[in-house]
Amino acid sequence: MLNQKGNSLVFILILVGFLALLLTTFNLKPPLPAHSSLQKTAELNQTQDPDDINEDELSMYQIPNDVLAALNQSNTEDSSVLGIKSDGPTYHIPILMYHYIEHVQNPQDKVRISLNILPETFDKQLETLIKAGYNFITASDLADILDGIKQPPPNPVMLTFDDGYRDFYTDAFPILKKYNVKAVNYVISGFLNQPNHLTDPQLKEIAQSGLVEIGAHTVHHVALRGRSTTQVETEVGQSKIQLEQKIGSAVTAFAYPYGSLDIHALRIVKESGFRTAVSTIPGSHVSNSVRYLTYRLRPGARTGQSLLNLISN
């Protein structure tokens, strides 16, 4: 008996050793989640924080052709998705796009640095906007304005943050509170509680602050253009449901990861119950026909007059 047990143990040890050798030799790794950009940047630069999502690298800067075609025709099914039949006035409402607000710890992390605005710069930007008489609106305010429920305030501006990074809570949120300024944070529901992303209690706290509207940004940060109906419906619909369950209130604002969209994704976003969606296409005018692909501006490190020039056009 003892010998048999001993033999089995030796056999198992040899097997484990062989498997370890096999994994090392062929550099086999467990599969990474489907997040091509993240995967790619992580492989390219090991010093970079793997949580960085290089949104700008893949961003869409123009209205895709299928959406443009629908915008130019007023009687098709697609154009009714865009709300062209009930098109109303056009408003000048600059929507500013932010990712990180922090002091980046790793000087080698180029992606993060490129997406980052220093907290003191963000503070100055808010000071600039307030002094110039800008009024901060949320995505729900924007929807109400487009629906004719509300009139826009004088000089409206909307601040948007993508991805639900943890530094929103530690660095940006205190500055928003300092100036009593409203903003929207588009959160990737499936990344919550991961290092670098908001935790559930942080999400709840900012959602209940009355200053921050929580929007959805898919479950896994998936570029939606060209995806199957099932996948888009799941990524879009589930992100809404998951966030609503966590914060206990309705989530009606959406942001396309990488600004990647097509008429198909746009339709699903609308049918999932969202009232507005933001893109990465540059611009500062909003009307009902583009409420599911509203334009945004990248403020970068501009403060003072240079920031005002950017948003006044």
Q: Do 193 and 233 contact (CB within 8 A), yes or no?
A: no
* Torsion angle, alpha carbons of 154, 159, 160, 164, to 10: -140
Closest distance between Zn ion and the C-beta of residue 186, in Å?
7
Q: Of these, 102, 109, 163, 235, which contacts Zn ion (CB under 5 A)?
A: 163
Q: Is 262 in the site for Zn ion (CB under 5 A)?
A: no
Closest distance between Zn ion and the C-beta of residue 217, in Å?
5
Which residue, 156 or 259, has its beta carbon nearer to Zn ion? 259
Say which amino acid occupies 204.
K
Q: Is 235 in the site for Zn ion (CB under 5 A)?
A: no
Q: Is 257 in the site for Zn ion (CB under 5 A)?
A: yes
Q: Is 162 in the site for Zn ion (CB under 5 A)?
A: yes
55-74 residues near Zn ion, rule: CB under 5 A: 55
Which residue, 134 or 191, has its beta carbon nearer to Zn ion? 191
CA gap 238, 216 in Å, rounded: 9
**Which range of residues in 15-23, 131-139, 228-236, 257-265 is near Zn ion by CB under 5 A?**
257-265
**Which range of residues in 3-11, 52-60, 168-176, 272-280 is near Zn ion by CB under 5 A?**
52-60
Closest distance between Zn ion and the C-beta of residue 173, in Å?
18
* Torsion angle, alpha carbons of 172, 177, 183, 189, to 10: 60
Closest distance between Zn ion and the C-beta of residue 178, in Å?
26
Say which amino acid occupies 64.
P
> What is the pattern of x (binds Zn ion, CB under 5 A) and - over residues 9-48?
----------------------------------------
What is the DSSP track for 153-213?
Answer: PSSEEEEEEEETBHHIIIIIHHHHHHHT--EEEEE-GGGTTSTTB--HHHHHHHHHTSSEE
Closest distance between Zn ion and the C-beta of residue 138, in Å?
19
Closest distance between Zn ion and the C-beta of residue 291, in Å?
20
Q: Is 190 in the site for Zn ion (CB under 5 A)?
A: no
Which residue, 136 or 258, has its beta carbon nearer to Zn ion? 258
CA gap 162, 279 in Å, rounded: 11
Q: Which two tokens stand for residue 67?
A: 């959406």
Tell me the CA end-to-end span of the chain in Å, nearest whole number: 86
Closest distance between Zn ion and the C-beta of residue 23, in Å?
33
270-309 residues near Zn ion, rule: CB under 5 A: none
Residue 115 CA to its chain's centroid (Å): 13
What is the DSSP track for 243-308?
Answer: HHHHHSS---EEE-GGG---HHHHHHHHHTT-SEEE-S----EE-GGGTTSB--B--TT--HHHHH
Enclosing H/E stretch for 216: strand 212-216
Binding site for Zn ion (CB under 5 A): 55, 162-163, 257
